[in-house]
Structure 1
Amino acid sequence: MSTYSLRTILLLPALLTALTSQAQTITGTILDAKTHEPLPYVNIGVLHKGVGTVADDKGTYHLPVGPTHATDTVRVSSLGFRPRLLRVQELRQQPTVELSPEAVVLREVKVKAKGLYKHTRVLGFKKPDGNGTLTMTSDDLGTEIGSVINLKSKPTRLVNANFSVAYNHSGPLTFRVNIYRLLPDGRPSEEKLLHRDVIVTSSVEKGTISVDLAPDQLILDEDFMLALEWIKGPEKAKVKSQLAFVAGLGYANNDLYLRKTSQATWERASAGAVLAGMQPKISFYVTAQD
């Protein structure tokens, strides 16, 4: 039986209204510090608080922050640029943020001769016709789902990335494909292994979104996480309820991680102890050559 009193229940709507009324949306633009041109699809959010968004294709962002975030830190980041850390109060006072270009440092990899990549294999959880489904964790731009991919041989060259859509009733959606380096404990880091933003817009209602990675010539000698980030689309409220990816359960690796929005903390998905070690898996996989 609930321990909440009737009076508490009646006061909740008024309390929520008061908190909402104190919230403030910061609107600004992200610019290239060198060219002063707008930067598209930049991640911006309050670190580890689940409050974030993604700038649009013209660099404009709308970040909702409440009074409890006044002293929190906002991180602004984009591939190929040095991240900025700003206090919420600073961002309110100066909502236009400039990011300085930064050279992408490539990790040295022992590369096989081009003609030796003869064996093609699928890595990840390939179940495009599975019965399970998994939705985005929120309806905020920047929400992201990722699956750890384990290499069978090293080095390995990635050819394409695939994402199995169970259903999409919300219309065309724009995603960013991210490939993250793993930390020593196997969790995803914030370091991206792709050297460019890979943006894909899809109207697939049911089926597989395939993204060509061959032009990137991405050759890896380490396990990684393949993730899909929602960065643009229709009315936000529709996405969480009208988009789902094919999922299932299994004992193998390919750990599944989710985060609510830009700069939020990655959370590892679990099926619970009742399933005796089985873990949820999403049908994200790559075609690779080794």
Structure 2
Amino acid sequence: MLRSLLVAFLLILLAPATTLAQSISGRVTDAITGQPLPFVNIGVVAKALGTVSSAQGTYQLACPDKLAADTVRISSLGYRTLNVLLRQLATQPNLALSRAPVALAEVQVQAKNLFKRTRTLGFTGNSESATMSIKSTDLGAQVGTVIYLKHKPSKVLTANFNVAFNRAGKVTFRLNLYRLDAQGKPTDEKLLRREVVLNTDVTKGPISIDLAADKIILEEDFLLAIEWIGGADAAKIQQGLAFSAGLGYANNDIYFRTVSQAAWERLSAGAVLAGMQPKLGFFVTVQD
């Protein structure tokens, strides 16, 4: 009984696909070089309609009449975010993004006693029966968990994701670390200053990403998320890929978004099971 309840609570139920009036096909390029830009997030703001450009910069996006006056946000790390109306995108589907100014690295003076202790933060469970899936009809779907720092500042060394099973084949993911707002909810501001794209066909077990060279030093809690940006199709992702999960009392707030630029939503088991909450098998190692 507990297992069936757990699985029910941990399924991410996403909105059904929007009825298509027409389909927009285009390409995203660098405004200066003309080179195609891969894995750009494209979507109607806060709606369940979005996608990600391919490795060749091409994309395809539905264009339902009822959303024609809504704003489409096009964003990519290192480039200025572009906002256009969906009906304008339908007439001018090819997009050129301008590079954003590069911020100089902050000089940090660190005491000698900092970063001596290594610890693991998050949920390390590797269950193959209690699982959580990414379900979406298009690219850009994400799921993540809030990582609460024990001591501040902390230096992030690795990001880890426990795969319960993968029968979808090779999948392309993007690692994202997001800043939280004053209420503890994820924003769109990324704390990782480079694109970390991972092509994997791991069938089960941990995916570990080394971040030591990035020198990510944080004094704030953050959202650790993984984003589906390519590889297997939506049907295979929905049916054949899941991450380890569990239940517990400790903070492990889980957020998801259905497609690119969709609103973040919080997953909760509510008041059942004596206040226990779902936990997702995502964790980091840090030094503090």
Q: TM-score, normalised by structure 2?
A: 0.90
Identify the residue that residue 279 of structure 1 maps to in structure 2.
Answer: 277
Indicate which of 44, 63, 66 corresponds to 2:64. Answer: 66
Identify the residue that residue 10 of structure 2 maps to in structure 1.
Answer: none
Identity among equivalent positions (%) equals: 54
The change in CA–CA distance for 1:55 and 1:22 in structure 2 (over 3 A counts) is closer
Letter matched to residue 181 of structure 2:
L
Report how far residue 34 of structure 1 moved: 1.9
Identify the residue that residue 160 of structure 2 maps to in structure 1.
Answer: 162
Letter matched to residue 222 of structure 1:
E
Is the contact made by 1:81 and 1:102 (CA closer than 8 Å) also made in structure 2?
A: yes
Letter matched to residue 101 of structure 2:
A
Indicate which of 143, 147, 150 corresponds to 1:149. Answer: 147
Output aligned runs, 1:1-290, within 5 Å: 23-105=21-103, 111-113=109-111, 116-129=114-127, 131-290=129-288
Larger Rg over CA atoms: 1
SS of residue paired to 1:273 = coil
Letter matched to residue 65 of structure 1:
C
Is the contact made by 1:155 and 1:221 (CA closer than 8 Å) also made in structure 2?
A: yes
* Cα distance between partner residues in 1 of 2:125 and 2:112: 30
The change in CA–CA distance for 1:69 and 1:128 in structure 2 (over 3 A counts) is same
Report how far residue 111 of structure 1 moved: 4.6
113-122 or 173-182, larger mean C-alpha shift: 113-122
* Cα distance between partner residues in 1 of 2:128 and 2:110: 36
* Cα distance between partner residues in 1 of 2:109 and 2:136: 40
The change in CA–CA distance for 1:183 and 1:234 in structure 2 (over 3 A counts) is same
**Structure 2: gaps (5+ residues):** 1-16
Is the contact made by 1:135 and 1:245 (CA closer than 8 Å) also made in structure 2?
A: yes
Across the aligned residues of Structure 1 and Structure 2, the Cα RMSD in angstroms comes to 1.9
Residues 185-237 of structure 1: per-residue CA shift (max 9 Å, x gap): 00000000000110111111110011111121111111000000000112221
Moved over 4 A (4+): 19-22, 104-111
* Cα distance between partner residues in 1 of 2:33 and 2:209: 30
Residues 237-290 of structure 1: per-residue CA shift (max 9 Å, x gap): 111111000001111112000110000001100112222322111010001111
Report how far residue 64 of structure 1 moved: 1.2
SS of residue paired to 2:47 = coil
Letter matched to residue 28 of structure 1:
G
**Structure 1: gaps (5+ residues):** 1-18
Identify the residue that residue 14 of structure 1 maps to in structure 2.
Answer: none
Report how far residue 155 of structure 1 moved: 0.9
Report how far residue 105 of structure 1 moved: 4.2
* Cα distance between partner residues in 2 of 1:145 and 1:109: 32
Report how far residue 112 of structure 1 moved: 2.1
Q: How many residues align?
A: 272
